[in-house]
Amino acid sequence: MYKKLAPIIPLTLCLLICAISAGDAYSQSLGTPFPASFRNTRNNELIDGAALSPVFRKIKQKRAVKVMHIGDSHVKGNILPRTVGATLQHYFPRMEFTYYGINGAWARRFYEADMIDRVFAEHPDLVIISFGTNEAHGNPIDERVHAETMQTLTDRISQRCPGVCFLFTTPPGSYIAQRTGSYTTGRGRSRRTHYTTTKVPNQNTANVARSIVNFCQAHHMAVWDIFTIAGGPTAACTNWRNAGLMNTDCVHYLASGYVLQGKLLGEAIYKAYTGTAASGSQTRMVHPSTPKEQKPYSSVKGF
């Protein structure tokens, strides 16, 4: 089923994944809702899901399908990809699912030879690509350069894995520290200036998400735009934080946030397979109680 490409997950997550696989009370229908506090949400659907038709054709032929999820620390943290995998295997029992993430990774890290070798070793039919949070914490995105990075990444994987399909995801949203004031301490050579900050939504996330969507549409690749689905520029970041689904660093997410994202992504893929129109994702319902915080993350620098 899963291959150990990341550390063992805690018992809490094991129970959550087992619940999804078993279809018990925690496992919700195809319309898994956002918490009641979310605003400005959109239907939980892939953009250009038809681009995954070669994968769907193998599933309909009852052939084994291999999926690999790569990305930054959202993937490295286990909870997101394992929930995606458990959700997909609930619908597609013959599916094999692996993942690999690196803390601090930008998309360009994964087009290096060692990462291409790692992907090739899994012989995937579908590669889910989840980057963008780190790019959004850099300088304002240069969409041309970003597109070249995504092109190089997909080209190099395709060269080693002919016929592979790609599904990009956008970053869900995060906060950055904004300077609000300053004060000084000491005198003379010991005089020091200190700055006060507050956390504000990272507006560059919208630019990165748009860049990913534009690239995928130009190259007929599937994309899951969770940033827009979960509220877009006006609400995505505040939705996750106000619902208590973000970690204290306001970059990463609690286990409950990653479980929700993973279930939504798995369901969006299944909807593309069946042609089901999404409507349930806008149902207003309070999300289950929050499991323990995901560790070990304390700052953007460690991402």
pLDDT tens digits along 233-264: 999 999 999 999 999 999 999 999 999 999 99
Q: What is the pLDDT of residues 76-119, one digit of tens each?
A: 999 999 999 999 999 999 999 999 999 999 999 999 999 999 99
Model confidence at 281: pLDDT above 70: no
Structure letter (DSSP) for residue 277: P
Q: Please write the tens of the pLDDT for every residue from 171-222.
A: 999 998 877 666 788 777 788 877 766 888 899 999 999 999 999 999 999 9
Q: What is the pLDDT, as a whole number, of residue 138?
A: 83
Residue-level pLDDT at 76: 96
Distances (CA, A) of 153 to 57, 60, 67, 74, 220: 25, 29, 17, 19, 15
pLDDT (0 to 100) of residue 26:
33
The DSSP symbol for 32 reads P
What domain range is 88 assigned to? 11-173+203-302
Tokens representing 277?
């129109």
Q: Is the pLDDT of residue 143 over 80?
A: yes
How many domains, the chain?
A: 1
Position 140 in a domain: yes
Q: Is 211 contained in some domain?
A: yes
Both structure tokens of 183: 């004060």
Q: Which pair of structure tokens corresponds to residue 35?
A: 């918490």
Q: Which residues are 96's β-sheet partners?
A: 66
Would you say residue 182 lies in a domain? Answer: no
Q: pLDDT by residue (tens digit) across 157-172? A: 999 999 999 999 999 9
| Tens-digit pLDDT profile for residues 41-63 | 999 999 999 999 999 999 999 99
Q: Is residue 181 part of a domain?
A: no
pLDDT value for 80? 98
Does the residue 1 lie in any domain? Answer: no
- For residues 260 and 287, the answer to whether their CB atoms sit within 8 Å is yes
In this prediction the pTM is 0.81
pLDDT at residue 40 tops 80: yes
**Token pair recorded at residue 167:** 């599904």
183: in domain: no
Band of residue 276 on the pLDDT scale cut at 50, 70, 90: low
If you average pLDDT over residues 6-18, what whole number do you get?
Answer: 45
pLDDT at residue 8 tops 50: no
Tokens encoding 267: 């369901």
Give Cα separations from 130 to 1, 2, 43, 116, 120 (angstroms): 21, 18, 20, 15, 17
**Is 191 contained in some domain?**
no
CATH, residue 283: 3.40.50.1110
Residue 198 lies in a domain: no
Q: Which residues, at least 6 apart from 247, have a Cβ–Cβ distance to it below 8 Å?
A: 253, 254, 293, 294, 297
